[in-house]
Homo-oligomer: A and B are copies of this chain.
Amino acid sequence: MTTYTPPLKDMEFVLRNLAGLDDITRLPGFEECSTDLVGSVLEEAGRIASDVLAPINQDGDKTGAQRVDGAVKTAPGWSGAYQTLVDGNWIGLSSPQEFGGMGLPGVVNAAVSEMWQSANMAFSLCPMLTQGAINAIESCASHELKELFLPKLASGEWAGTMDLTEAGAGSDLGAIRTKAVKNGDHYLISGQKIFITYGDHDLTSNIIHLVLARTPDAPPGVKGISLFIVPKIKVDAQGNLLEPNDVECVSIEHKLGIHASPTAVLAYGDKGGAVGYLVGEENRGLEYMFVMMNHARLNVGLQGLAIAERAYQQARAYAGERIQGKPVGSASRTPIVDHPDVRRLLMEMKSEIEAMRGLAYVAAAALDRAEASPDEGTREEAKRFAELLNPIVKGWCTERGIDIASKGVQIHGGMGYVEETGAAQHLRDARITTIYEGTTAIQANDLVNRKILRDGGQSLRALLTEVADLATELARDNDPLLTDIGASLTTSVEDARKATTWLLETAPTDARQAAAAGVPLLMLLGTVLGGYQLARAARLSTARAGDAGADQDFLATKVKTAWHYAEVFLPRSASLAAAVIRGSRTVMSLSPEQL
């Protein structure tokens, strides 16, 4: 069994110094959320993560979710762990108090979510999906549906799912064929959904499926999709459970990882049609999905960060214990952490993780500001910023998360390839994160088309100007490490600007080449913006180092971590910009037949 220790100090550093937690807790609606309260919440959530969720992670992977007699049985310990979350009112941590939630800021929920995903990603998908369902219903459903479903979802008595994918409709939701036929006060739903995370399980008395489907007279494509609430067990107007609805779990997938998270094929309407309730208006389903997309994608980005942190902790522990050879320059056979290449791997893992955490929490905080700021202009600006960061956090944190989990395996050597150590599980689990909730290519499309081209690059350019200003300031600093960081960031932000300019010039005339450049551009921006967060941390840490009572060692660590990132990861901006500007010309130079 491998352990997990919540990196509370690092998390609080980011929350307070980079994400502006103190300002957020002063926003209307969050007044009861003091910094002290946040501290207690994180500490308790961390305790649950390390004591309740982490210990059952590896066994869950081994046993997996199982389908027995047509129903899904979750892994050993799952029910007890779920009850712990329910008892502590954790599911509705950031749900509205009106419906029984705790109403905490999303950025606090992000930190809690990071810990739970680190501790046990396969388990924590369940509350994550429920939060997604809560978001969708809260944002788009009628008050009646909210009153019927939200309290029991927020309390965790019921769980939620998101049912988008069909065999022929994955990235392309316009191809959805599931049918919804109006039948009095409800609709009858029929069709098959695949890849439904926690589509069936035994953790709750009911499961509330949010299903994308098409009414008979709907226009074709994405403009004819509606969103429905379809409970597994039918309910009366008071929320009492009635008989089972017409939805069946046909099978669950045998997957590379997250074995204990049941991924179901759900058949709707084999007996005439499942009772479903329309969310909002017909044909606006996709729009509603996009409302909650920011949260959902942020959460998957956090998974990339979380699994990387877990892999890092495990590799660091192994490297501190395992003796193998005499490290060069060591007087004796000290643990392998003293081997320069093991240190390199750990340092790379640490610095990217901290860059990812900085960017992800800043994005989460922007969502809070976009929702809760009293000033409309501030809200609008925060919204644009949050939406710009969203696909970057999702795409970049998950792509890098896989690489970091792979480094964790490497540090273990042969033991990393043997399943009993648990290092390989992190790689297997991480591998889904670049695929679900929109592949990296889908994130890049969103970034390029909706977040950059739509406003003529204005938001991105404003952000890059901020980055460039800090880079210039640091490059002139007297502190040699800050100078290095500033110099490296100056070069990298210039690469990002060139790539942005290229995109704005190219896209109008060659949409295909622009699309071919999307993922490299996303990775470029992730690299630079992650480095920007570390540079902010380094500046602040250097400035505070002289304060009375300052934790010198901790602050020095922040500066050196940023320095490492600036010298190892920021230089990658050059080749990423080359892949955008030069590489994209070459991508389609062969025909499919020539590949």
Query: Which residues in A have some Cβ–Cβ distance to B below 8 Å?
Result: 165, 168, 170-172, 174-175, 194-195, 253-257, 316, 319-320, 323-326, 328-329, 335, 337-344, 346-347, 350, 402, 406, 409-410, 413-414, 416-420, 424, 427-428, 431-432, 434-436, 439-441, 444, 484, 511-513, 515-516, 518-519, 553, 556-557, 560-561, 563-564, 567-568, 571-572, 574-575, 578-579, 582-590, 592, 594-595
Contact = CB atoms under 8 A, between A and B. Distances in A.
A575 B527 CA distance: 13
Given A419-B254, A578-B567, A595 B512 contact: no
B410 A440 contact: yes
Contacts of A337: 592, 595
B418 A595 contact: no
Contacts of A594: 553, 556-557, 560
A324 to B, nearest CB: 5
20 contacts: A316-B595, A341-B518, A342-B441, A343-B587, A343-B588, A343-B592, A344-B516, A347-B586, A347-B587, A410-B435, A410-B439, A416-B435, A417-B432, A417-B435, A553-B594, A567-B583, A568-B575, A568-B586, A571-B579, A574-B574
Contacts of A338: 592
Contacts of A578: 567-568, 571
Contacts of A431: 406, 409, 417, 424, 427
A305 to B, nearest CB: 17
B341 A519 contact: yes
Given A567-B586, A574-B571, A347 B595 contact: yes
Contacts of A436: 414
Given A564-B586, A595-B346, A414 B170 contact: yes
B340 A587 contact: yes
A344 B343 CA distance: 33
A174 B325 CA distance: 8
A233 to B, nearest CB: 27
A492 to B, nearest CB: 10
B413 A402 contact: no
- 10 shortest interchain CB distances as A-B pairs: A172-B325, A341-B441, A571-B578, A340-B516, A340-B515, A571-B575, A568-B583, A564-B586, A256-B424, A567-B582
Contact of A512 (B329, B419, B592): B329
A410 B406 CA distance: 16
A519 B410 CA distance: 13
Nearest to A513: B340
Given A553-B594, A567-B585, 15 more contacts: A168-B323, A168-B324, A170-B324, A171-B325, A172-B326, A254-B418, A256-B427, A329-B512, A340-B518, A343-B516, A410-B440, A416-B435, A567-B582, A571-B579, A574-B574
A515 B343 CA distance: 10
A13 to B, nearest CB: 14
A194 B341 CA distance: 24
A417 B256 contact: yes
B586 A255 contact: no
Contacts of A256: 409, 417-419, 424, 427-428
A319 B340 CA distance: 41
A346 B254 CA distance: 26
Central interface residue in A406, A428, A567, A586, by most chain B CB within 10 Å: A586
Nearest to A346: B595
A32 B182 CA distance: 80
A328 B515 contact: yes
A168 to B, nearest CB: 8
